[in-house]
Each structure stands twice: as structure tokens, then as C-alpha cells.
Chain A
């Protein structure tokens, strides 16, 4: 890693959309012209001041940015080591970081004259964010969601419908996020003229991984400024949960060239990273392959068939990971670890008790790793963790795991 640090980690992707060997544009010919058009439009928008003015106005007045930087004092005290900060992206409008990116893509779609927006969603947070912004701009919105996720995330399905989106349960495969992405791609290839595909994470064909990262980088940019103001320096460790990896990439990117900052991504270890593959830890338990338009680490069998992940958290239940993470993993600039379902649940409860914050199950994976490392670190070691989503959507899942009976409630009956 020492040699690589002479070069910037912030220059990717190259003109072929690659981060090292990862990324690229592995799509059918029908989609290729659309992807090239999107890339050209994004390149134009990126340097257009009016595009960013509109983004910044909406980030401030519609999303509620900047999100706070919060010193989790009681949690830090309880763990008895490092000083822990939460970057509170769960306080955004719609309850997660997802809307940062959706705003960017929808403004771009409007500039391109597209009138119909499609999206895939796992936990439903990206679907809700997309439905929200579409409602705001009066655009038609279609969300593909795995049938299994439709059951376990019933509150978000209802939210999307309230917001006027059409939610299509996907029954192919095992009915999770991966299958929803397949069906969204099938929709796009069919409706090429009027439709914009709003991808929710830093994956997919170029330019999506770079574009989504750029929109999410507001997280890391703010975090850097806020910590400079509050602590007068950089954090020592930054940490975030990873499914596809958009909240993590958003936090990490502005820090990539700050070599004193330790960067940790936390994957969903499900029931444990083992040969039975009951997890979603693409980097710790997978190998490079090509899916959904990019080359990246994937959970797959020896024949190159894609395996279904397993996680308590629908938002992390994806057998791949953004290509830039694969590259950061191989270069060693970021470390990647995994956390099991039960560790995440323990973190969930600790966060509720000590901080009065009900976190989503996704950031609980990051928090569980903070719980592991913080006690061993000195009191002046600053950890910044991305609290990327709030837990309202997860209370039914958590209740079931904790043996709390919510079946008397209307919604409890619908939730899986």
C-alpha cells in the first residue's frame, strides 16, 4: 500500500469506467447507447454550476442537509475507549442516505427529458426515496422489489404506494434485491426511450458507480468539515456498513487521500461467513465476477452461477458490491470485515438504550464493529461512523428475533 499512496485514490474510474480491473460496462447492446448518453449528460451536469445549485438548494431545504455530526457520548463511555461520532444521515428526509443520490439522478433525468423513472429496492429505502422525489417532481415511478422483501418490509411498500409509485413484486430467483435489479434492467431494455433507471447503489455499469459515489460524497465532505470544526482535525477511523456500498463510498471518498485515516467497510455476515454462504460478504467470502453491468467481487459457485446472499438486513442482502470497494479492498486502502446478524442485533439494542436512537439494521453492522474495536482504542482516538438509516422499518423484524409478539397489530400481520 505504501507505494500506491504516492498516487491519488480519488482519480478513478478511468475512461473505460474501471477502478483497476473492476467496474466496466457489461451490458447488452440495447442498453449501451443509453449508458453512453447518460455518461455524456452526467459529464456535462458535473461541471454545470446550475446543476449543483439546484442540488444544494434541495439538499438543504428538502432533505435537511447538512446532517448532524453527533458525539455518541454514552455509547463511547459504555464501550470505554475511542470517542465515537455518528454522521446522522438517518435524519434525512425519508430516513436514510439514499435520497442524496436519488435527487442527483432525478435532476439529471429531468435534464435528459425522461418522464418515467424505474428503480430497484431491497429494504425499500431507495424505493421510498425514489418515489418521494418522483412525487415531488410529478414523474411516473415504478419500483421493482423482491417478493420476499415486499413481505419483510411491508411499511416501506405502503409508503411507496402512498407516494404514488407502482411497486412490482419480483418473483424470479429468490425474490430479493438481485432479482429486483434483473427485472429493472429488463424494464429498461424494453422502455428505452422515455425511461431513466435510478440505481440505488455504487454498482451497475459505468457511469453509475462513479455518479452515485459523487452524489453520496456529500456525506464525507460534510463529515470532514464538521469534525474539523468540532475537533480541529481528521478522524482516526471512519466506518460504514456495506451492501452495494453507497453510504460507505459516500463517507470514504473524500478521505481516500488522507492516509492517516483508517477506513473500514462492514459487510453483512448473516449467520457467519462459511462455505454454506449464509451471508452477504462479497469481499470476505466471494471472488471477482461479472454481474449487473460491472466486474466486482461476487458470491458465486465454482461454475460462475450467482448465489443468493443471506442477511437479517434486506438492505445488505446483495451478492455483489460496488466495484470501487473491490478496488479499495485489493489495493488495501480500505479494510473490509463482516458482522453477523446476532452481533448486529446486539448493536441495535445498545444504540437504542444508550443513545435514544433507533438505528436501521444496516448501520447496526457498522456499529457492531465499532463495539469490537472501540474498547481497545485510546480516548483521543476519533471514530466516525455513518448512521445511514433509521430503524422504523426494521422494528417488526427485530421484534420477531427478540421474541416480541406484534401480531396483534394490523401491520404486524402483514410483516413477514
Chain B
């Protein structure tokens, strides 16, 4: 059982929906970023999605692209991202951390070496945007064997015929992408998302968490109400971009978490 599985059991027992926050590792710099992620659990975040910066984030909108650029310019690397997770683990051994990013930095490091290092750093799961089920042998299967969850994205284009393929070898939770598009674009609509989540839940026992297009406490509440939880990324990263102090960003995150938890 990973920390992710444990967290969902805990939430289920408490009758609560999950609130997942995405932040870019190293944005705007290592120290600020570490301070921010250390404050997330206290702000009500159940699971941290830690973005690994990449030069060519093809599924991301401008806000997260720019966050990655800021992090890279400040010298962020995959190694430093893992170091950051390790530093976080010194004071928190229960909040799950999911690394989210693209395959090339992992491939470049070497999958086997990466998995050993990620596990050791206290990473619990991986979301790798450019690895569909067709490429499971690359990272998904080795990651599961190494005891890490591999969290797959399901999207509005994943039809019923394809859904079983997407759910096979998925663990931890299913991340439902609420819109066709990039992060931070169109707003997610609970009326669209509800039936899609139900469609997925009919085929799996895993929790279904919804992300993309959720920006406000109200939206987090409405989406969480029709799913097992909600993810907010761009709206939080946008606060970092504005140069707001960590305390203020955490206050904003608290509001979002309260929204999701009120569902």
C-alpha cells in the first residue's frame, strides 16, 4: 500500500473528498518552492502533485509553461526535484507526492535509476503525460514493479472501447482530464464531468480525481461533488507567478481545499 492508497482510505473513512494541489518544483526558486510545498498539507492539501519542469510541456497552457521556464532558469533539474521531495519527507511522512511531468527527463536519467531514486526520495506516484497505455513497457510497468503508483489520465476522447485499456495498469487513482485542451484553458463544467466520472467509476474501483479547468473554491466544490476529488494547478501556479508571498498563496490554497472538502 502506498501513501496514496492510505490517504484515500483515510478520506473514505472520514467521508471526505480529496483536494489535490499542483505546484511546479523550483518555481520561482528552490527555497520558495520548498517552503510552499511544506505548507500545503497544513492548508488542507491531501495529495501534492509536484511538477517536474520541462522545456517542451505540450499539454500545458502558458501559466504552467512559464512556471517551468522560471524553474529551469533558476537551475531546477530532476535531481533537485527529487531532493526537494526528500527534504519534504523529513517533516511529513504521510502526505502523498505524485511527480507530474514529461517522459524525456526520466528517460534521459535512465528509468531504472530514476525509479530507485524516486522511491528513495519518498515519491509515491507518477503522472507522465506523454506515456499512453501503448507505451506501458517504457515506465508504467517498471514503476508498478518498483512499488510506485502509475496514475493514468482519462480524457473526454477516451471512449468506452478504449477505457479498459486506459484503466489496466493504472493504480493509485484515475486522473480525469475534464476538458479537451491544455491546462488552465476552458473551465470544467460539473454537469459534463459528472456523467463521465460515473462512466469511469462503473469500470474501476479506483478513486477518480478531476483536474484541468478548476480555479475557484466553488468550482473545486462542484467538481469534487461529482467525483472523488479535484485538482487545482494553474490557479495556484498563477499566484506564484504574481510573486505573492508563500503565506498568501497558502491562504488561497486553503480556500480551494475548503471548497473541495465541503462537497
On A, residues with C-beta under 8 Å from B are 16, 24-34, 172-173, 178-179, 182, 185-186, 189-192, 289-293, 295, 298, 300, 302-306
Cα(A85)–Cα(B154), bound, Å: 53
Assess the B157–A304 pair: CB atoms within 8 A.
no
* With A25-B135, A30-B177: A189-B59 Cβ-Cβ less than 8 Å: yes
| CA A182 to CA B105, docked complex, whole Å | 17
List of A residues within 8 angstroms of B132 by Cβ: 25-29, 32
Given A191-B180, A300-B108, A305-B72, 14 other A-B contacts at CB below 8 A?
A25-B134, A27-B132, A29-B132, A172-B62, A172-B65, A173-B55, A186-B182, A189-B58, A290-B102, A290-B103, A292-B56, A303-B78, A303-B79, A303-B109
Q: Of residues 101 to 119 in B, which have CB atoms within 8 Å of A's CB atoms?
A: 102-109
Q: Which residues of A contact B181 (CB under 8 A)?
A: 186, 189-190
Interfacial chain B residues near A182, Cβ < 8 Å: 56-58
Instruction: Looking at the assembled complex, report how far the CB atom of B33 sits from the nearest CB atom of chain A, in whole angstroms.
Output: 17
Cβ–Cβ contact A29 & B153, under 8 A: yes
Residues of chain B within 8 A (CB-CB) of A24 are 134-135
* B window 137-191: CB within 8 A of A: 152-159, 162, 166, 177, 180-182, 185
**Which residues of the other chain, B, contact A185 by a CB distance below 8 angstroms?**
58
19 contacts between A and B (CB under 8 A): A29-B152, A29-B157, A29-B158, A29-B177, A30-B156, A32-B132, A33-B157, A33-B162, A34-B157, A172-B62, A186-B59, A189-B180, A190-B185, A290-B103, A290-B107, A290-B130, A293-B130, A304-B54, A304-B106
Specify which chain A residues have a CB less than 8 angstroms from the CB of B109 in the assembled complex: 303-304
Q: Give Cα A185–Cα B158 distance, bound, in whole angstroms.
A: 18
Please give me the residue from chain B that is nearest to A179 by CB atom. B56
Interface SS of A by simple majority? mixed
Asked if B77 is at the interface (CB within 8 A of a chain A CB), the reply is yes
| Distance in angstroms between the alpha carbons of A293 and B130 in the assembled complex | 7
- Given contacts A34-B157, A305-B72, A306-B104, is CB(A192)–CB(B180) below 8 Å? yes
| Interface SS majority for chain B | loop
A300 touches B104 (CB 8 A): yes
Task: Judge whether A28 and B153 touch: CB under 8 Å.
Answer: yes
Question: How close is B209's CB to chain A, nearest CB, in angstroms?
Answer: 15
Docked-complex contact B59 and A304, CB < 8 angstroms: no
CA distance A291 to B57 in the complex (A): 10
- Of B79, B104, B131, B182, the most chain A CB neighbours within 10 A belong to B104
The CA of A92 and the CA of B105, in the complex, are separated in Å by 41
B59 to chain A: closest residue by CB: A28
Q: For A305, what are the chain B residues with a Cβ–Cβ distance below 8 Å?
A: 53-55, 72, 104-105
Cα of A301 to Cα of B18 in the assembled complex, Å: 37
Contacts of B102 in A (CB 8 A): 290
Quote the shortest CB–CB distance from B241 to chain A (angstroms). 15
Contact A306 B130 (CB under 8 A): no
Complex: chain B residue closest to A184, CB-CB: B58
Closest partner residue, chain A, to B180 (CB atom): A192
Q: Which of B104, B131, B156 contacts A304 (CB 8 A)?
A: B104
Partner of B56, one of A16, A27, A191, A291: A291
Q: Which residues of A contact B180 (CB under 8 A)?
A: 30, 189-192
